Structure 1
Amino acid sequence: MASSVLEHDAPPGVPRLKGRGTPWRERFFRLSLWTSLAVGVIFLAGLLIYVVYEAWPRLDSRIWTNFPDIIDPTNAGAQSAIMGTIWVIAFTALYCLPTGILAAIYLEEYADPERWWNKLIEINIQNLAAVPSIVYGILGLGVISRGLGFGQTVLTASLTLSLLVLPIVIIASREAIRAVPQSIRQASLALGATQWQTIRLQVLPAAVPGMATGSILALSRAIGEAAPLLLLGGLTFITFNPTGVQSQFTVLPIQIFNWISQSRAEFVSLASAAIVILLVILLAMNSLAIWLRNRYARRW
């Protein structure tokens, strides 16, 4: 009878038999999870501390006001790389966000899932999300840069990165739209609104937090890509800022790669300072995503 008596300290609604503790397999599994988490956090913290320590002598205004200089690294900066990153990511957002959101609206609200072409689109989106970034670089080099004749410019880099993150934007936007309860749509249609009015006035405002969060996280991935841009001619030494979509460019990941491959110790501090700048930009974008999610999230 003792084995059938419930413990007094059991959580509400969760019955637990007296005299029977947590199985050793479950304790071992939890310990493994905590150990894995601790190892990852410790290595990440150590890496961040090392980068900040190396970057500290160069974390001043020179890093964003001066241009690269391979002769005198003490006065070199990363202004052209910072501005190139801003140009490329801005046009990437301009190209991929409207396309991805409209594609998500079509697939969730209008597309018939039984049609073969809609099934083909679904499969391709899922597959493209897992394609390595270097493949998109080869595609951008062969089709956009050479095939369309855009050359090694900001436009080519933006279109290539747009293709890279477009599946992520579509998937995140679809999940956000799918999370809106069907009762909202049914109530709007019952009051006489058209399908487009229901989507524009009811569904999209409710899905904005999820779509904004997914879109910003997708752009955060694009801002750290170096492999496709190396194929597209992202130059490692540029002493001017882009002036348009037809300008040559460099970005922070490529500039960091160039500095870290130099033999002189001064370039290590420069590369570390550029890494800190890139991390600040990424953290700012991720913080914006978290703020938008918490500010506009709705609980149904």
Structure 2
Amino acid sequence: MIKPDLLKCFIAAADTGSFTAAGRLLGKHLATISGNVARLEDELGVQLFNREGKYPQLTEAGLNLYDGAKVVVDSMERFTRNAAHLTEGIPARFCFAVHEDINFQVFAPLIKQAQQRWPHMKIKVSQQSASAIFSAVREHKVDLAFTPSLEGNSQFYEFQAIGHCHVYIVCGKHHPLANKKSVSNDDLMSYTQVLSIDIDDKGPLYTTTVMSPSLCYVNGHTNLVQLVKAGVGWAMVFSVEEEIDSNLKVLSPEFLQTNITVQYDLIWQKNRPLNDVQKFFQNRIKALITNEKN
């Protein structure tokens, strides 16, 4: 079996154009590079470099084998790195859940950063209702979740208060409310309110959130926004970001004296210390929300 070190010397010599430069690149002596390349040639039974000139030149066989050598070395390095991560306690699989009423777009870069940092790890991302998230964490189906605070339920999970999300009252640009300079409670009651399914008539948010007798329920932030854009009605939207979709009109009703916010937590399994992946998300989400506040 050909050793990866021989292939690394071959690749370095091909990339740098000389055995001396390859030695500097790999931190090895010239004699080691030259000897390893010669040994590789012997094992393969082909000449990889033409050494007649001042600098070694790849032969046709060398050119033909170069890409394959890169694939082998890259695969071996990835295998070794992944094995090291597993040894260090990095999980092979990570499940992250976000409350379905939140705009997920702001979290997408964090997923990309995690995937680049731990390429071996299979990442599963979902958006669910608060009740579904709590159940999934309790049943160890979710490793970390971003969800509204729910008092009196923390005996089932560990949590950290992570910050507040903004709540905006919005309508579509062509909705009748969009042209009003002043919006009263009666105005809001006169039009359909688009509401998250997660806010049911038995939950604590119902009495503080529902204002119109005409309701249209929908699941998920994206679906809610689409209905509002289509002119179905007005809605309260939750967002980590301070900017709202340009196709929405932010309303300032008379009753609204201060900005509305909702406390959000990060939650995870009870009596489980956070691993490095969970800490990675914890730190970045906290920084993200703090930056939005600042």
Verify same fold: TM over 0.5: no
Higher-Rg member (1/2): 2
Which structure is higher in strand share?
2
Q: TM (normalized to structure 1)? A: 0.20
Of the two structures, which has the highest relative contact order with CA contacts closer than 8 Å and spacing of 6 or more?
1
